[in-house]
Amino acid sequence: MRNNVATRDGATMNWTTIVDLLDSPIFGKSPLGAFLRVNEAFLQRLPLRARNSGLLRPYGEALHAVVGVRRNRTFNFGTLFMRNRPQLELALRLIDREEKVSSFTIAVLACSIGAEVYSIFWTLCSRRPKIKFTVNAVDISEEAIEFARNGVYSLAGSKFTGENIFSRLSKQEMDELFQAEAGKMRVHRRIRNNINWSTGDAADPKLAIQLGPQDMVFADNFLCHMNPAEAGRCLRNIVRLVRPDGYLFVSGVDLDVRSKVAHDLSLVPVKEMIDEIHEGDISLRKDWPFRYWGLEPLNKRRPDWQMRYCSVFRVVGGHSANVLTEKARVVE
Ligand SMILES: C[S@@+](CC[C@H](N)C(=O)[O-])C[C@H]1O[C@@H](n2cnc3c(N)ncnc32)[C@H](O)[C@@H]1O
């Protein structure tokens, strides 16, 4: 969306100002909010395919641009086990391409109450048992980290989570990840004990030194809750955590913010499984265009589509904040 629009008297007005005006309550209600709700009620009745195609797509894009300018971005702890399986599949492929790897260090930023961390750690360890994975899990909320460290999830949901936190797990996966207790599921001790939990701010320049260079960093589903300028600054800091030639996984972020930072820092898009990962978390896709975190349908007609929709990047030298210590990599 262009930033400024011309008015009749030749002056310019900022889009944010216009959206603010339309959001100002009349009789306690936001006219823009009401307009968006009517649109949502209508568009939700259409199948996802119809919503994403033809004339409705540009209409959806315009709605999403307006939604993105509203000042209602806010954080929550929402998370799911095995939220995006293709993302994990690609992580395995990239690890397999490393030469003679015996150990691998991963940071999971904004890990919330731990579902994403346990999903990553358990998948990688069970599929590549010969590699020693070190996982550093970080969230800005001490409460979330305490919850994650305990690893106990109520089947009925809690103040942190809906009961759907398990909805993407099979019965077999539930058994392998948890031990069942009355009304709760507890992550097996052998999985819990192998994760380094800490509170920290992903935007803090000292984080890179605190954690040391990471072979792979996951930064999912939290940058979208920041305003675009703040998200851009935070993402630039996150890139510094990745060791040269390591990988950054970043989804749940405004696409313009991600592609600008990727472009500016010459991050190399991993062009595999772009479609699969894009569609891999249905909760993001189905919320477009009504929520600011909603993920637009992938559009291969765009000349920049690979950079725009790619969520995994190789970080080629120069950004790491750490003086690299040569990692001992021994033959398996
Ligand atoms: C929606 S949850 C994301 C959970 C998980 N990454 C996932 O994809 O399922 C957002 C989390 O971001 C955390 N967060 C927000 N700002 C942060 C920051 N600057 N640094 C680290 N964590 C942050 C919040 O505390 C919250 O737990």
pLDDT in tens, 281-319: 999 998 999 999 999 999 999 999 999 999 999 999 767
Which architecture does CATH list for 85-152+191-282+303-315? 3-Layer(aba) Sandwich (3.40)
How far is residue 121's CA from residue 111's CA, in Å, rounded to a whole number?
12
Q: What is the pLDDT of residue 146?
A: 97
How far is residue 123's CA from residue 126's CA, in Å, rounded to a whole number?
5
To the nearest whole percent, how much of the chain has pLDDT over 70? Answer: 92
To the nearest whole percent, how much of the chain has pLDDT over 90? Answer: 74
Site residues for ligand 1, CB cut-off 6 Å: 75-79, 83, 109-112, 116, 138-141, 144, 201-203, 220-222
What pTM, to 2 d.p., does this model score? Answer: 0.91
| Mean pLDDT score, 249-264 | 97
Instruction: Return the residue whose CA atom lies nearest to atom 2 of ligand 1.
Output: 77
Atom from ligand 1 closest to the CA of residue 83: 9
DSSP letter for each residue of 8-37 = TTS-EEEHHHHHHHHHS-BTTB-HHHHHHH
Instruction: Return the residue whose CA atom lies nearest to atom 14 of ligand 1.
Output: 110
Q: What is the pLDDT of residue 325?
A: 39
How far is residue 67's CA from residue 46's CA, in Å, rounded to a whole number?
20
Lowest mean pLDDT among 35-49, 90-104, 105-119, 255-269: 35-49
Q: How confident is the model at residue 329 (pLDDT cuts 50, 70, 90)?
A: very low
Q: What separation in Å is there between the alpha carbon of 111 and the centre of ligand 1?
A: 6
Atom from ligand 1 closest to the CA of residue 219: 6
Atom from ligand 1 closest to the CA of residue 80: 9
Lowest mean pLDDT among 18-27, 48-57, 172-181: 48-57
Instruction: Return the residue whose CA atom lies nearest to atom 17 of ligand 1.
Output: 140
Compute the residue count for the chain: 332
Q: What is the pLDDT of residue 327?
A: 38
Q: What separation in Å is there between the alpha carbon of 110 and the centre of ligand 1?
A: 3
pLDDT per residue as tens digits for the range 114-146: 999 999 999 999 999 999 999 999 999 999 999
Q: What is the pLDDT of residue 324?
A: 41
Among residues 176, 191, 178, 209, the alpha carbon closest in space to that of 135 is found at 191
| Mean pLDDT score, 230-243 | 98
| Mean pLDDT score, 246-259 | 97
Tokens of residue 134, six digits: 């070190």
Which of 74, 112, 221, 235 has most ligand 1 atoms within 8 Å of CB, for mutation? Answer: 112
How big is the CA angle at 232 (ends 255 and 53), to the nearest 5 degrees?
A: 10
pLDDT of 244 strictly over 50: yes
One-letter amino acid for residue 52 of the chain:
N
Q: What is the pLDDT of residue 331?
A: 31
Q: What separation in Å is there between the alpha carbon of 246 and the centre of ligand 1?
A: 22
CB of 77 closer than 8 Å to CB of 160: yes
Q: How confident is the model at residue 328 (pLDDT cuts 50, 70, 90)?
A: very low
Q: What is the pLDDT of residue 157?
A: 84
Atom from ligand 1 closest to the CA of residue 108: 6
Q: What is the residue extent of each domain of the chain?
A: 4-69, 85-152+191-282+303-315
pLDDT of 188 strictly over 70: yes
Q: What separation in Å is there between the alpha carbon of 318 and the centre of ligand 1?
A: 26
Residue 221 falls in which region: left (phi positive, over 0), alpha (psi -120 to 50) or beta? left
Q: What is the mean pLDDT of the chain?
A: 91
Q: What separation in Å is there between the alpha carbon of 230 and the centre of ligand 1?
A: 14
pLDDT per residue as tens digits for the range 54-100: 889 999 999 999 999 888 899 899 999 999 999 999 999 999 999 98
Among residues 260, 253, 201, the alpha carbon closest in space to that of 227 is found at 253
Q: Where are the beta strands (DSSP E) in the chain?
A: 4-6, 12-14, 103-109, 132-139, 152-154, 178-181, 184-187, 195-199, 214-219, 242-249, 268-269, 312-315
| Mean pLDDT score, 26-53 | 88
Q: What is the pLDDT of residue 201?
A: 98
How far is residue 102's CA from residue 100's CA, in Å, rounded to a whole number?
6
pLDDT of 209 strictly over 70: yes
Q: What separation in Å is there between the alpha carbon of 12 and the centre of ligand 1?
A: 37
Atom from ligand 1 closest to the CA of residue 113: 27
